[in-house]
Amino acid sequence: EDQVTQSPEALRLQEGESSSLNCSYTVSGLRGLFWYRQDPGKGPEFLFTLYSAGEEKEKERLKATLTKKESFLHITAPKPEDSATYLCAVQYNAGGTSYGKLTFGQGTILTVHP
């Protein structure tokens, strides 16, 4: 069963058209939720880590929020250079060395047209 689900799979926006990406999780004992950006042919680039429900973090046009069941990545007035795949991942407590691993969603492909 999926533990981390991202939606939509793909999103097309016009420049300046704000929207949100969703990351829902079903794990218990969440210890952290992570957002990454990945450009074609490159490794993922870290954006944010959120630790508890109600927490919010911002970076330029991006704002990440966290509830007990999901996280949103809000993109305000996007530009074409925001086009990328956005990945979320969770770290949860499953005993042993589980604190050392992250479980990723499948990503949302964002395209921003000028």
Q: Is 95 in the site for another protein (CB under 8 A)?
A: no
Candidates 12-20, 35-43, 59-67, 68-76: pick the segment binding another protein (CB under 8 A): 35-43
Q: Is 90 in the site for another protein (CB under 8 A)?
A: no
Quick one: tokens of 101?
A: 């691993």
Whichever of 18 and 111 has its CB closer to another protein, that residue is 111
Q: Residue 56 gets which letter from DSSP?
A: E
Close Cβ partners of 45 (under 8 Å, ≥ 6 residues apart) = 36, 37, 38, 39
CA–chain centroid gap for 7, Å, is 10
Type of residue found at 92: Y
* Interface residues toward another protein, by CB under 8 A: 32, 34, 36, 41-46, 49, 51, 87, 89, 91, 96-97, 99-107
